[in-house]
Amino acid sequence: MTATLLHILMAVHTLIGAVSTACLFYLAWAAWRRRRPGTDKLLVFALAWPLANLTLMALNGMACPLQNAAQALTGTHAWVRDIYWMPEDWLHVIPWTYPIGYALGVAAVWWRARKPIS
């Protein structure tokens, strides 16, 4: 039963990671295309999703709550692989690279949206 729950948790975390990564790429694309949040509902989602994700992590001491759940399911306090598609080496740098990528994406959207199109 624990193995099944762990695989469900991994599938959910993988989906969340994929959506989060897609949001960061969409922020870059939206900045390039000078999209504005007032006219682009997907851009609003791409801005809100990472903010909600980062808020949850900040409330949990910059640790992913799903990583804590994976540790509880396996009965260990060590790091547990809980995302299917990412190389293991990348997972350790996500907590500090993700906020930087999000901040850069928001800054790019704001910068490009405020400049008039010539």
The pLDDT tens digits along the chain (118 residues) read 788 888 898 899 889 888 988 999 999 999 998 888 888 899 999 999 988 988 988 898 888 888 888 888 888 877 777 777 777 777 677 777 878 888 898 899 888 887 666 5
Instruction: Supply the range of the domain harboring residue 58.
Output: 2-114
Single-letter amino acid, residue 6: L
What would the two tokens of residue 50 be? 């990472």
> What pLDDT is recorded for position 26?
94
* Number of folded domains that form the chain: 1
Q: Closest by alpha carbon to 27, among 117, 85, 115, 110? A: 110
Helix axes 2-32, 41-59, angle to 10 degrees: 130
pTM of the predicted structure, to 2 decimals: 0.80
